[in-house]
Homo-oligomer: A and B are copies of this chain.
Amino acid sequence: MRAEGTGRQPITLKDLAAELGIHPSTVSRVLHSTSEIARGAASSATAERVRKLARERGYSPDPGAASLRTRRTKAFGVIVPRLSDLVLATMYEGVEEAAAEARYSTFVMNSHDNPEEQRRKAETMLARRVDGLILGDIHADSELVHELSARHIPFVLMNRRYPGFPSSTCDDNLGGKLVADHLWDTGHRSVAVIAGEPYASTAVDRTAGFRQRWRELGGEFSDADVVWSRFDTEGGREAAETLLARRGRIPTAVFAVNDFAAIGAMGAIRSHGLTVGQDIAVVGFNDTSLAAQLPIPLSSVRSPMLEIGRRAVELLRRVIAGEQVEPLRLTPELFVRESSAATAAVASRNALAG
């Protein structure tokens, strides 16, 4: 494949040109162009010789040199709250795939959902002269989007949306509705939402969708039935503790807007001597690979995480091309499992017994 062998330094265009006795620019045109520009640059015989030698020598162009000239780096910057969040990591896999297919490289950095760090990382990537940014950590009150926009820097949002800017997200509102339908259909009438961080559109939209549909169905749902929390397991546990401490009005079902929060909630429920799926139904969101495999399999709304990442790349490419692009919301799907399969009739009876 690569036959450099002894080569210390990478091969350059000039090396190839010298060996073939032709001018570097000719080599460049042959190698660089999509057979359109190549025609006219060299005879097909020469073109073949060039390509052959390039292959033999394992030539690969120096991207730094090329981007110096072309003013494009063929690289994107990606910023996420943290890659150790399975959801974002999976989206990033989609980003990487799609970017690679389009011959783009990606830098990724963690902002820890901290606006200042977010801005710092963005500047770092811009200092690297990336051609565009994919932001997976935008807050509802973000100033950064406006700044970047004012500076004409191409970017798209991923996972979380911000009105007026291009984004690739799940239809979180719909996701919340799916859960409301499901819990209503299984007979629940007293429910609560573990809502995640209020600065994330994912959390807000999922909660809003749920609330909206629940009320459409005739259910009661007040602000007191929403507990904001962190997105991780511990956050879910704490939120569930809050719910379980409510005198007299312990819900028969809990919707956590994130699988990890749901797992934490399951832990809290068990600590109180109650059984998930029997005494209290739990539904999560994202359907991460864990959900189906848990000791008590978790019902969850599957969001197309990989696809969200892939589409973010596509959108960004279109933004860079100067197109006007609309926000994209991909359709989620609910998977019902043991954690919420029983009907509420059973659930409430057991809750009384417990």
Give chain B nearest CB distance to A25 CB in angstroms: 18
Contact present for B84 and A90 (CB under 8 Å): yes
Within the complex, which residue of B86, B123, B267, B276 is in contact with A86, where a contact is CB–CB below 8 Å? B86
Of A105, A126, A297, the most chain B CB neighbours within 10 A belong to A105
The residues of B that contact A314 with a CB separation of less than 8 Å are: none
Within the complex, which residue of B65, B108, B152 is in contact with A108, where a contact is CB–CB below 8 Å? B108
A59-72 to B contact mask, C-beta < 8 Å, 1/0: 01111110110000
Copies in the complex: 2
A93-B84 contact given A68-B62, A237-B293, CB 8 Å threshold: yes
Contact present for A110 and B129 (CB under 8 Å): no
Contact present for A2 and B123 (CB under 8 Å): yes
A83-B73 contact given A2-B123, A289-B232, A289-B234, CB 8 Å threshold: no
Q: How far is the CA of A60 from the CA of B126 in the complex (A)?
A: 9
The residues of B that contact A65 with a CB separation of less than 8 Å are: 64, 68
Give chain B nearest CB distance to A66 CB in angstroms: 8
Give chain B nearest CB distance to A336 CB in angstroms: 17
Give chain B nearest CB distance to A311 CB in angstroms: 18
A283-295 to B contact mask, C-beta < 8 Å, 1/0: 0000001100111
**A residues 71-87 touching B (CB-CB < 8 Å):** 73, 82-84, 86
Q: How far is the CA of A313 from the CA of B59 in the complex (A)?
A: 28
The residues of B that contact A60 with a CB separation of less than 8 Å are: 126-127
Q: How far is the CA of A8 from the CA of B109 in the complex (A)?
A: 25
Residue A51 CB within 8 A of the other chain: no
Which residue of chain B is the closest to A290 with respect to CB atoms? B233
Q: How far is the CA of A67 from the CA of B66 in the complex (A)?
A: 12
Residue A128 CB within 8 A of the other chain: yes
Contact present for B86 and A84 (CB under 8 Å): yes
A113-157 to B contact mask, C-beta < 8 Å, 1/0: 000000000011011110000000000000000000001100000
Contact present for A234 and B89 (CB under 8 Å): no
Contact present for A129 and B267 (CB under 8 Å): no
Within the complex, which residue of B106, B124, B129 is in contact with A64, where a contact is CB–CB below 8 Å? B129
Contact present for B64 and A68 (CB under 8 Å): yes
Residue A96 CB within 8 A of the other chain: yes
| Partner-binding segment picked from A39-47, A161-169, A258-266, A321-329 | A258-266
Within the complex, which residue of B62, B68, B90, B233 is in contact with A289, where a contact is CB–CB below 8 Å? B233
Which residue of chain B is the closest to A234 with respect to CB atoms? B293
The contact sample of 12 A-B pairs, CB cut-off 8 A, is A4-B151, A64-B64, A64-B129, A65-B68, A82-B89, A96-B109, A108-B108, A233-B290, A264-B293, A267-B294, A267-B295, A276-B295
